[in-house]
Structure 1
Amino acid sequence: MKTFFGWLRLITPSLRRMNHVRIGALCLAFIPGMAFAQAPWRSELYPESWTPPWDKPFETEKLIQDFSYAGYHMGEVELPVISGPVFDVTAYEADPTGKKDSTLAIQKAIDAASAKGAGVVYLPAGTYLVSPQGTNSFVLRISHSNIVLRGAGRDKTFLFNNSYQMRLKSIILAEGDPTRWRDKPTSSPVIAITRDLLTPTISIPVASLAGFKVGDWIMLRADATEEFIAEHRMTDVWGGMGKRLAGVMFQRQIVSVDEKNLRITIDVPIRYYLKTRDKARIYLAAPHLEEVGMEGFSIGNIQHPKVKETEGWGLIDFTKEGNGAYDVHASAAITMNHVRNSWISNIASYHPAENQTAAHILSNGIVIQESRGVTIADCDFERALYGGGGGNGYMFRLQYSNECLVRDSVCHYSRHGFVVAGMASSGNVFLRGTAGHTQVQVAGLGVTAGKGSDHHMYLSQSDLIDSVTLDGDFFDAHYRTSGNTFGTPAHGQTSVHSVYWNLKGLSYHPKHEYIVHSDQARWGYIIGTSGKVSGVATDSLAADKTAPVDFTEGVGKGEALQPQSLYLDQLRRRIDSKKTATP
């Protein structure tokens, strides 16, 4: 050791003259068994000089897109703290002791706030017993913008749903106009896009501007035609099912109109190509709820009385009336449907004292469907009773949604933890947080067929999973042969151009020695992993359909990756550029 430090003193002056050398790391490399810090590195796809890839074709190029538009108002403002007016549910005779059903009282408070045009519906500390009324598909419903449902804190306010008859129902539903994204409102014109859009762009050439103006929210979409399906080498799997796939869809806001050149500018770049061959077009979006918030409470559900039976909780047991799985199928704690620029923060599932098992909720946690710019922050969901097929046991599911952000949230003990689903999903970001222990349900034998936090069903595009920790779980965007059980297409290609950035592993899932498996259509990206476990996989069940092999870089070296968060770095860059451009 004396010889080593003598040598170190001799070479130190020379090392100090070397650019970009960390002396400690270099020298410690010569000491067997001694740990040392890794030298900082950047991805070759994201150099310091990176700019948004406006000119790179989706079909052929590797590209890191600008993911910074995800979340409430594109991440440009903090989640708001609304002061009032306040509608205290106890003033409407809600019972915080949990002895009397408070469903109608809380709904009256929500309706009163809605009638005023805005308000905070406040649930003071306590437990509130609720249950679905009649044939409603919800227990509580928010149907107007500018409504905030707020508790006193998730360790103080508890919503307890005392019904297990929740098939296709949500405990809390926030819902705008029910018109699906794929269907144009009756009052909207449908205007053709006049040129193939093959790269990320915000400039859209159209056949006419009649009926469109600055500030309008629009849908840009193209069909999943047989040509589109063949272009993805999926004819044998998806052929004839284009209507079920629906196609690529982006909800955007018009920020400028060029009447001379018949062109509109939108607020966020498209996330995948739109071709005239596939009837690329625009139309007005149906009305969505805006500025809806849910915050500061916990939510739980009574367990099903058949929870300890070994039968009736299998993969497709939800199809047979009389099974426990039938009663709880596709239920959710919280659903947002057709909602924009809204938030869910500081909400957790909890274990009701009435449950003799570990169950918190019946099936799904938070479901965001056909929504844009929703932020989920600091939420924690776990312990689904049922995780069978057909849409059960997902803790955080972004379905057919654009530019949503899930940050600093945790999911444990479920079929799937963090999920993106559908060809209409794109630009979504999962930032930090932890995904843990999937392939688990409380009921029956305690095991589900599905596992992992995943890209689910049909080619979602250009999502970012950033700095998330895996604990007994893994992220998955690989070619899947499952599906086609109930007339739906097989999953097949599940994603394209999605990025896994700086994932951290605490432990592997019991059946897989990796924390991410990426086998996407065209290109996918794994950049930087670290932790006690850090393995990755890029193998394929159908290499002919997913070639080339996904881009992988920095496995086991994530601790030194610069920047540590791609989303936060891109958000900083974009906001700084806007400040520079402002006179």
Structure 2
Amino acid sequence: MYNYNKIQIQKGLVAIFNLLAVVAVFAQKEAKIFDDYKKDRSILPDFSYVGYHQGEKNIPNITDYKYFDVTDFGAKPNDGKSDKIAIQFAIDAANKNGSGIVYFPKGRFLVNENGDATNSIISKKSNIIFRGSGSGPGGTELYMKNALPPANPAQMWTVPPLFIFGSGGSDKKIGVVTEAAAIGNLTIKLNTTEGLNPGDWIMLSLLDNNKDLIASELKNYKAEPQWTYLVKKGIDVKVFYQIKKINKETLTLNAPISYTIDPKYKWEVSKFANSEEVGIEDIAFVGNWTEKFVHHRSWKDDSGYTMLNMRRNTNSWIKNCRFTNCSVAATIAQSANISVLNCKIDGNAGHQAINSNGSTNVLIANCVDEASQWHSFGSSHGSMNTVIWKCTYPATTCFESHSSQPRNTLFDEVEGGLMNGRAGGATENMPNHMQGLVLWNYKQTNEPVKDFEFWPPTAVFEWWKIPNPVVVGFTSKGSTFKMEQIGQSESLDKAVVPASLYLAQLKLRLNKFPKWIKELE
């Protein structure tokens, strides 16, 4: 009777505490910046279109595709022999079929042993599911014993990924944009739409070194001479959108324009060569990177064990995967509307975690970097509208912002270190980020920094330049900021409501939360 009563009392106390927590949340006033955003959508970037089918659909549990079990193609788990050729055979068969589930039963499969060809394992088609039997103990492990060789040993980033999920074909130039379009517009007008159909994807691109254009984006900062890409080649934008409908020379898009289009600059439109509906699920990708990592010491440190690259994919996903002892876990390159959910990086520390590279509307959510990669989750190379939501990494690292003009990156309910030495990028490709970096309810876990700078003088530190970030609901052990370097700020010592900017924007657009959000949380 005593134990029963004790349990009931504990349950009652828990219920009371939960109720008080709910009351406290409702008592909190909504952040002013979000209240203002509801009236004026230009105040913040709109992140609500990120992820698989713009966050509007659940990632499907595909069961009706033909199965291509790798063991039927010669792979055998736990036998100490390479399975690399058999895995490629299974992928090729699924590609030829036009769709398929490349399936791995439980066990350890060897994917780059002594004597294996030093090439990537590649899939180039749509509707391919690469599915294991779980990424935890007793599940499916793909083990990479040997690093792949770099294309150029002097260029430490040139090791190819072991797995590439890409696309065949090439882009086809269509025409140029003829009328101005504001951020948030869903339509653009071209000189011709010949060769395009509803459902096609386009690449909308700009490369222009007009000084006024550069100045308009940097705003109160100036480009430095050593930033040769920005100074000589200019503002570089490549974004990917799906066509909803076509009316003569006007395209209506599924997602709004995220960069102001002025036709006096040459905005080109190409038909984008892509694969779609590709899923990578429930697999552990395990490398053999066991040395103490030293940044830029060698190609093996920086990219020797690069596990996975998803490129030229749309409406695709990676979920429930683990990446262990790797240089680079996963890169989403030249893709759009990709969701990366419930993934883990662990084991020995390496170079990069999971990043959006030159992609549009990517969501990386509920992922954890336990390894403390030198660059944790983030964006690079012209990515537009990247959301890092409810991700964590140790106090010993920071997010990635790897130069080459990424824009509109949201770190939303993220927990980890904040330090200026982990963004990444070569001097010629600076700054680390362009406009639109947002820290929303960011919890800094490393030691506090007084007067933290987002744009320090180059003489003080050369590799950390982020113009006018938005910082809202920041919590730490006592860090402060150089306030003149922050574009907008609110509540720099306490979390705000809404807890997630991404979720709040998504609900504002859809008037509800999709089912997958509830399942993820």
**Conservation of the 8 A alpha-carbon contact between 1:297 and 1:348:** yes
1:267-299 C-alpha deviation (Å, 9 max, x unpaired)? 2122222333331222211x2111111111211
- 2:178 aligned to 194, 197, 207, which one? 194
| Structure 2 CA distance for partners of 1:364 and 1:170, relative to 1, 3 Å | same
SS in 2 for 1:45: helix
Gaps of 5+ in 2: 1-19, 151-158, 456-464, 515-521
Gaps of 5+ in 1: 1-23, 26-35, 57-62, 180-184, 351-359, 387-392, 439-450, 540-546
**Conservation of the 8 A alpha-carbon contact between 1:229 and 1:235:** no
- The Cα shift of 1:523 comes to 3.6
**Conservation of the 8 A alpha-carbon contact between 1:290 and 1:340:** yes
1:499 aligns with 438
| Structure 2 CA distance for partners of 1:475 and 1:194, relative to 1, 3 Å | farther
- The Cα shift of 1:242 comes to 5.9
2:236 aligns with 247
Q: Which structure has the larger Rg over C-alpha atoms? A: 1
1:296 aligns with 282
2:10 aligns with none
1:149 aligns with 130
2:82 paired with 1:101? yes
2:223 aligns with 234
1:3 aligns with none
1:569 aligns with 504
| Structure 2 CA distance for partners of 1:257 and 1:382, relative to 1, 3 Å | same
- 1:433 aligned to 391, 401, 415, which one? 391
| Structure 2 CA distance for partners of 1:94 and 1:69, relative to 1, 3 Å | same
- The Cα shift of 1:131 comes to 1.0
Return the alpha-carbon distance in structure 1 between the equivalents of residues 117 and 422 of structure 2: 39
1:489-543 C-alpha deviation (Å, 9 max, x unpaired)? 14225231222111224x21x5x5389865576642111123x63635346xxxx
Give me the identity figure in percent.
23
1:82 aligns with 62
Aligned-partner residue type, residue 269 of structure 2: I
- 2:100 aligned to 93, 104, 119, which one? 119
Return the alpha-carbon distance in structure 1 between the equivalents of residues 451 and 395 of structure 2: 12
2:308 aligns with 334
Matches within 5 A, 1:378-393: 378-384=342-348, 386=350, 393=351
- The Cα shift of 1:578 comes to 12
2:48 paired with 1:68? yes
- 2:377 aligned to 411, 418, 424, which one? 418
- The Cα shift of 1:317 comes to 3.5
2:473 aligns with 528
**Conservation of the 8 A alpha-carbon contact between 2:303 and 2:328:** no
Aligned-partner residue type, residue 474 of structure 1: L
1:61-96 C-alpha deviation (Å, 9 max, x unpaired)? xx1132111001111111111113222222222111
Aligned-partner residue type, residue 452 of structure 1: C
TM-score by length of 2: 0.80
- The Cα shift of 1:568 comes to 1.4
Return the alpha-carbon distance in structure 1 between the equivalents of residues 450 and 88 of structure 2: 46
**Conservation of the 8 A alpha-carbon contact between 1:394 and 1:419:** no
2:353 aligns with 395
- 1:483 aligned to 396, 419, 426, which one? 426
**Conservation of the 8 A alpha-carbon contact between 2:454 and 2:485:** no
Return the alpha-carbon distance in structure 2 between the equivalents of residues 178 and 538 of structure 1: 48
Matches within 5 A, 1:11-90: 39-47=27-35, 50=38, 53=41, 56=42, 63-83=43-63, 84-90=65-71
| Structure 2 CA distance for partners of 1:404 and 1:534, relative to 1, 3 Å | farther
SS in 2 for 1:465: strand
Return the alpha-carbon distance in structure 2 between the equivalents of residues 90 and 516 of structure 1: 54
**Conservation of the 8 A alpha-carbon contact between 1:203 and 1:266:** yes
1:397-444 C-alpha deviation (Å, 9 max, x unpaired)? 21101101000000132111112002x211111110212244xxxxxx
| Structure 2 CA distance for partners of 1:573 and 1:214, relative to 1, 3 Å | same
**Conservation of the 8 A alpha-carbon contact between 1:453 and 1:476:** no
Aligned-partner residue type, residue 569 of structure 1: A
1:276-326 C-alpha deviation (Å, 9 max, x unpaired)? 3331222211x211111111121111246xx37xxxx7544337xxxx54x
Return the alpha-carbon distance in structure 2 between the equivalents of residues 199 and 537 of structure 1: 29
1:213-258 C-alpha deviation (Å, 9 max, x unpaired)? 3222111121131423344331524356567667112111122333
Matches within 5 A, 1:180-329: 185=171, 187-189=172-174, 191-227=175-211, 228-231=213-216, 232=218, 233-234=222-223, 236-239=225-228, 247-259=236-248, 262-285=249-272, 287-303=273-289, 307=291, 314-318=294-298, 325=301, 329=303
- The Cα shift of 1:483 comes to 2.4
Return the alpha-carbon distance in structure 2 between the equivalents of residues 578 and 377 of structure 1: 17
| Structure 2 CA distance for partners of 1:380 and 1:517, relative to 1, 3 Å | farther
- 1:177 aligned to 156, 162, 168, which one? 168
- 2:411 aligned to 449, 460, 465, which one? 465
Q: Give the root-mean-square deviation of aligned CA atoms.
A: 3.2
Return the alpha-carbon distance in structure 1 between the equivalents of residues 38 and 122 of structure 2: 44
- The Cα shift of 1:348 comes to 0.7
- The Cα shift of 1:381 comes to 0.8
Return the alpha-carbon distance in structure 2 between the equivalents of residues 99 and 401 of structure 1: 38
Aligned-partner residue type, residue 104 of structure 2: L
Return the alpha-carbon distance in structure 2 between the equivalents of residues 339 and 254 of structure 1: 16
| Structure 2 CA distance for partners of 1:533 and 1:116, relative to 1, 3 Å | same
| Structure 2 CA distance for partners of 1:89 and 1:503, relative to 1, 3 Å | same
| Structure 2 CA distance for partners of 1:123 and 1:76, relative to 1, 3 Å | same
1:10 aligns with none
Return the alpha-carbon distance in structure 1 between the equivalents of residues 485 and 374 of structure 2: 30
1:9 aligns with none
SS in 2 for 1:223: strand
**Conservation of the 8 A alpha-carbon contact between 1:534 and 1:555:** no
| Structure 2 CA distance for partners of 1:401 and 1:477, relative to 1, 3 Å | farther
| Structure 2 CA distance for partners of 1:348 and 1:468, relative to 1, 3 Å | same
TM-score by length of 1: 0.72
2:503 paired with 1:551? no
SS in 2 for 1:272: coil
**Conservation of the 8 A alpha-carbon contact between 1:408 and 1:433:** yes
Return the alpha-carbon distance in structure 1 between the equivalents of residues 142 and 177 of structure 2: 47
Return the alpha-carbon distance in structure 2 between the equivalents of residues 569 and 176 of structure 1: 34
